[in-house]
Amino acid sequence: MWSRVRGWGGTAGGCRRLAGGLLAGPASGWEAAAGVARLEGRTRSKTQKLFSTSSVLSTEKDESTASKDSTTEMASKRQEGTPETPKQKLLDIIGNMKVEVSYRKKLQQLKTRETKKQATNKLEGPDGEGTVLQGTTEEIQRGRPLNPELVEAASAVASSLPLNKKQTESELLAQLRRHEETTDKQKKGGTINIRNVISEMAVKRQSPAQRGVRISNRIFLDLDEDGQKLKPGRLSPRSFDSRRSLKVGGRLNIFTKASPETENALKTVSSPTIWDLEFAKEIAAITAQPPRNGFEEMIQWTKEGILWEFPIDNEAGMEDDAEFHEHIFLEKHLEDFPKQGPIRHFMELVICGLSKNPYLSVKQKIEHIEWFQKYFEEKKEFLQEI
């Protein structure tokens, strides 16, 4: 029992180290996690506290519920359903960690708790597994090549399984190497499109070599498609249907996500065809509802241009881009005129009239004043004679 707990803790610790290392720099995260790993075995309550996944620990005997839990929790990140063989579990765990690593690289978010959860949730197999994983994850984290110890551990796992030993071992190691590759790649160049890496991995995991692994999970089998396997009649049992979920299962793997550049390139600028116009109309018609009250009707009318716009103000329809004070206070245009005398008086009357005239634009009014200015300028001599 204790060793089992330790096993979990070990993986969780390893996983945490992965996360922490990337987050807080290699040294500190590593140190803390190592501490956790050392501490973990002492008391059970402590373990629970540390990993905050007591639900899994308490329901460990009930494997089915636990695995169900895990499926729902893992749903978004996992490609397969619940695993059957311990080996498959192992592969899953590794796969999940991979995904987690890349996510962390990209998002740099604090999801440590989740990761832990996943790791602990997943580990329900025999004791050996846990220890091996502890080792492997450590190795991976440090970015070392696969050392003999690891290979030995993997073969130990393989021999503990009922299936083909050689195959299992090589698969395990292959998976570990692949994992390591990814880690290295991402360490070196942070510019790799993470999503592509993930999707690539997903494809690999469904490659024939992996498929050879016997998975009795029917969802996986079903989603493994190829058409022939899917006879409508065979897919009806309720127990199968009930496991269906939007969050579990694979994808079609036909498309790859386009990078933003190609997406932009694809957007060809062309004038909309009749198809586009009519489609837009059709879409707009979906949510076109008759107005529910008088105000909504007025909104509709305003949009159509029937109704005078709200709020009604004295600037509506003001097109010459001038304001009322420019229309009304025209004294400033009289500076070039004499300060007093009959001309001044006359001009004051003129601007008074202009300021009341709504039909002329400001420009026209100024032109009008300027005309008088020019006129009086021309007649200056005669005026002075008088």
Partner 1 sequence: MAARRLRGSSWQQVVSLSRRCCFLGGRRENYRCSSSSTALGKTVDNSEVTQEEIVLPRKKTWDKLAVLQTLASTVNRDPTAAHYMFQDDPFLMPRNAANSRLFSLSKESGRNTAKYIIKQFPQYFDKTFAEPNVPCLMPETLTPQIEGVSEEALKERIHLRRVKDSVDLFDQLVQAGTPVSLETTNSLLDLLCFYGDGESTLEKEEEKEDLEEPGVKASEQKAPKRQFQRGSQSSGSRWRENNNAERIFKIMPERNAHSYCTMIRGMVKHGASAKAYDMYIDLLNERHKADVHTFNALITAVPYLKERFVERWELAKVFLNHMAQQEVQPNLLTFNAVLKTLRRCGGVGRSMSLLVIKEMEALDIEPSLATYDHLLFIFYRGVDLCPSGIISEVLDDIQKRSFTPQDPDDANFFATAMQACCDLKDIKLAYQLNKAMEKGDNWKFVDMDRLNAYWSKFFSLLCMMEQIDVVLKWYKEMSPSLFYPTPKNILDLLQALDAANHLEVIPSVWEDMKQLGFNRRQDLLEELLSLMSREQHPDEIQLAFAKCAEDIKAVHEQTGREQTPVEWTASALGHVALLFSRAGRTQDAWNMMEHFQQINRIPTDQVMDEFLNCAKQTNCPDEAIKLVKLAASLGLPSSQRLKSRTEKEFVLSEKQKKTLESIKSDSDSSDSDSDSDSDRD
> Hey, what are 151's tokens?
């290979």
40-72 b/e (C-beta count within 10 Å ≥ 16 → b): bbeeeeebbebbebeebbeebeeeeebbebbbe
Q: Shortest Cβ distance from residue 323 to partner 1 (Å)?
A: 6
Which of 61, 332 has the CB closer to partner 1?
332
CB contact at 8 A, 363 and 369:
no
In the numeric block, the tokens 């978010």 are attached to 109
DSSP 27-63: HHHHHHHHHHHHHTTS-HHHHHHHH--HHHHHTTT-H
Nearest distance, CB of residue 250 and partner 1, angstroms: 6
Measured from the CB atom, the residue of 181 and 276 that comes closer to partner 1 is 276
Tokens standing for residue 254 = 């036909």
Which one, of 116, 206, 133, lies nearest residue 176 by Cα? 133
Which two tokens mark 152? 């030995």
Residue type, 143: G
Closer by beta carbon to partner 1, 226 or else 335: 226
Residues making contact with partner 1 (CB under 8 A):
195, 199, 222-223, 225, 227, 230-233, 235-236, 238, 241-242, 244-247, 249-258, 262-263, 266, 273-275, 278, 281-299, 302-306, 309-311, 315, 317, 323
Q: Which two tokens stand for residue 337?
A: 């005129």
**Residue 1 or 269 having the CB closest to partner 1:** 269
Measured from the CB atom, the residue of 275 and 382 that comes closer to partner 1 is 275
CB of 293 to partner 1, least distance (A): 4
CB 89: neighbour CB atoms within 10 A? 19
Nearer to partner 1, 114 or 222 (CB): 222
